[in-house]
Structure 1
Amino acid sequence: MVFEGSSAAISHTGRVRSNNQDSGYSGANLFAVADGMGGHAGGDVASSIAIHRLEGLDQGFPSTQDAQASLQAAATTAAGDLIRAAKDRPELAGLGTTLSAIIMVDDYAVIGHIGDSRIYLLRDDELTQITADHTFVQRLVDSGRITLEEARYHPRRSVLMRVLSDMDADPELDMFVMPTQPGDRWLLCSDGLSGVVDDAHIEKVLRMGFAPGRSADVLLKQALDGGAPDNVTIVIVDVGGHHPLMSGTPTIVGSASNPQGVLIPAARAPRSNWLHPVRQAANEPSHFEPAAEYLEELIEEDRRRARRRRVGWFAGLLLVIAMLVGVAFAGYAWTQTRYFVGVDDGVVVIYQGIQQDIGPISLSSVWATTSIEVDDLPGFDRSRVEATITARSLDDAQQIVQRLRDSAKEGR
């Protein structure tokens, strides 16, 4: 059961955008997030239309099948509204919105999703992303061409492959049903949250056990502290089991909360923003849906990026190998400035190098062989030379040999 007061919705413009193109809804049985796209006005209109088309679904359904059919129908109707809006006002062409929604039916969650807003489930203190992003970079992740971490910073991460828009009268939503359990905590959010706050930090906040409103506030603060380059919308709902229809006033946030939000704004003459580059950038869309021919260009661009990465990795590997070879050569060159006195085939010799070996590689070689027989040396000198005598230099090694020669003569 979703008890009264056990859900919350919040939306914020963020630190960069000049307006809020997100919309969110938290009601009795319906919970949804929409992230608009299409410029300064188009995104507002698109997300508002989507949320207001879904409002009528906040009711009791006799079955999950009925709820699914109604959710798909509402999304299709919203797509038709977007098409008409773009037709009536050509300057709104290209408007669209993501949509992630949950309808609670008894002890089941009916889920509909399109775009890159997300639905998470915290169950038994473990966070799971329930929806899959309909983005170009997610396809690259799914095909193993990039990692999830690379996807977070990919230059094309804003390219949406599926979205509610004025280009498709029959949108393809991911639709599925999941059973709920007492203690479940659901999070719906726009990418203004998930693109800034990673899953580990989201999970940590949701596990703190705060009320939904407090948890939403903490997540929003983390997004703002992270720079919040996009609008941030969060809907949290706690589930306690069987879910009957609840009464109460729904919470609507973002552009859909504005009574004028679904009205198509009048055309405005374009104004130069050359004095305000930051504001101009803030009004640029955070998402866009590519034309079909553009996808091939994106795929080829990613292939070029992959080739550049491989060349970069290979060049880096060669550089590391070259550095290791350089260090090894420098180390070997240093060993050849060292000398010591030892024994070879029963006679005293001067070695160039050091006494240590690296596996099968010897770091020393005979530099000069003397005529001094080891057996002619007194016991103490024989032991020393058999254990090798380190010399400070070649001159020092030759002096050691001379002392050993004198000692051998005295021992005869």
Structure 2
Amino acid sequence: MVFQGSSTAISHTGKVRSNNQDSGFAGSNLFVVADGMGGHAGGDVASSLAVARLESLDHPYSSPPEAERALRDAITDAAGELSDTVRVRPELAGMGTTVSALVMVDDYAVIAHIGDSRIYLFRDDALTQITTDHTFVQRLVDSGRITPEEARFHPRRSVLMRVLGDMDTDPEVDTFIMPTQAGDRWLLCSDGLSGVVDDPHTAKTLAAGLAPGRTADSLLKQALDAGAPDNVTIVLVDVGGQHPIFSGTPTIVGSASNPLGIEVPAARPGRTSWLHPNRQAANEPTHFEPAAEFLEELIEEDRRRARRRRAGWIVGLVLVLGLLAAGFFTAYSWTQGRYFVGADEDSVVIYRGIAQDLGPISMSTVYEDTGIRLDDLSEFTRDRVVQTIPAGDLDGARRIIESISLAGGAP
């Protein structure tokens, strides 16, 4: 049965990258996001080849298990095509792509996933991440070493543990079947969206109930407003709903939309100096690291980083406390060279320090009780003493006391 609903696909280079290595596909039954990696040309080729291989699956299926088998086989075939391509063009070695694919079969969604692109389900005003990121930081989250919020800003957040690449012709792909229902909104996206627009803002946008095209435009705008450091690809699928039934030719976006995108590019001619190597994929930015053999090393590196961070906090705290203590000691030492005259219950007293408190800490102590009773003073002098009379040093305090004793009035 042909899927009854509406969909859209959109892709943008972003504000930092010079080219778009993402590919997206929205057909009648099949929906795909692929995020390529491995250099300027390698990522383009990898995501384009993956989408081109999966396009043939865009037709009705007799059962969800049949669609699940077809997805798994097609993705495995795509891995073989990537490997064959690298044998022809070894300078593309290391290229790969994520794949997040969705096939609608009757009242079921058939899902295949590898990498860190994501599939979300928005149902009953709640957004749920359906796929699990195959990343190093997700391993840390699953093991309780870091929180999901810490994972969003972890320096290794882009290190993939599983990817559709040229080095593994039998990739480990997650596939599963879920029931779906009218009103569901399925969101497939590259990490160019999920990495910069958090789930609460995504859920709010999906909850607005706009048509898929306008909803995708709004999500893209949020990613661009947040800086869009990576390519952004969004495929949105509404099950049933108030918007027009999807019909017509498939929508293909990103690298796969270029008719030449799935062709292996020619080698760059000319210079071969260290500034312009022919190994195009190797010297371009990539976030793929084949991780099986590096996992324990990466985990230990993260432990060391966490220990260094804790040690840094402890050292910083000790330094701050030390500076505060030194400052307090210096200030307190200065106050102990100051004196003032004040009252203590019913007599005149010379105090050492200053007539102020630092919270619960008194900055003065009784230095000498003069024996002069407050009741023997004039009202004006008594008020001055009660309010304290600054004396500077001890000699100044004694002169004030002598003035009070001899005159019996104002000092």
Provide TM-score, normalisation by structure 1.
0.83
Q: Deviations over 1:223-250 (max 9, x none)?
A: 3344433222111111237xxx975321
Classify the secondary structure of the residue corresponding to 1:167.
Answer: coil
Q: Does the C-alpha gap of structure 1 residues 282 and 148 become closer, same or farther in structure 2, counting only changes over 3 Å?
A: farther
The structural deviation recorded for 1:79 is 1.5
The counterpart of 2:390, out of the listed 370, 375, 392, is 392
Partner of 1:365 in structure 2? 365
Partner of 1:316 in structure 2? 316
The structural deviation recorded for 1:36 is 1.2
Q: Deviations over 1:151-192 (max 9, x none)?
A: 334333322100111222221122233332332222111122
Classify the secondary structure of the residue corresponding to 1:307.
Answer: helix
Q: 1:6-405 alignment to 2 at 5 Å? A: 6-240=6-240, 248-269=248-269, 271=271, 284-290=284-290, 292-333=292-333, 335-336=335-336, 337-343=338-344, 348-354=348-354, 361-370=361-370, 372=371, 374=373, 377=376, 388-394=386-392, 397-405=397-405
Structure 1: tracts of 5 or more residues without a match: none
Residue type at the aligned position of 1:393:
A
The structural deviation recorded for 1:377 is 3.0
Identity %: 65
Distance 1:282 1:77 in 2: 24
1:230 and 1:286 in contact (8 A); partners too:
no
2:339 and 2:397 in contact (8 A); partners too:
no
Residue type at the aligned position of 2:391:
S
Classify the secondary structure of the residue corresponding to 1:392.
Answer: strand
Q: 218-227 or 181-190: which moved more? A: 218-227
2:94 and 2:281 in contact (8 A); partners too:
no
Distance 2:99 2:184 in 1: 21
Instruction: Give the total of aligned pairs.
Output: 400
1:341 and 1:397 in contact (8 A); partners too:
no
Q: Does the C-alpha gap of structure 1 residues 362 and 19 become closer, same or farther in structure 2, counting only changes over 3 Å?
A: closer
CA RMSD of aligned residues (A): 3.5
1:163 and 1:289 in contact (8 A); partners too:
no
2:212 and 2:237 in contact (8 A); partners too:
yes
The structural deviation recorded for 1:408 is 7.4
Residue type at the aligned position of 2:142:
D
Classify the secondary structure of the residue corresponding to 1:393.
Answer: strand
1:117 and 1:189 in contact (8 A); partners too:
yes
Classify the secondary structure of the residue corresponding to 1:69.
Answer: helix
1:16 and 1:282 in contact (8 A); partners too:
no
1:377 and 1:404 in contact (8 A); partners too:
no
Structure 2: tracts of 5 or more residues without a match: none
Classify the secondary structure of the residue corresponding to 1:264.
Answer: coil
Classify the secondary structure of the residue corresponding to 1:72.
Answer: helix
Q: Does the C-alpha gap of structure 1 residues 271 and 235 become closer, same or farther in structure 2, counting only changes over 3 Å?
A: farther
1:79 and 1:165 in contact (8 A); partners too:
yes
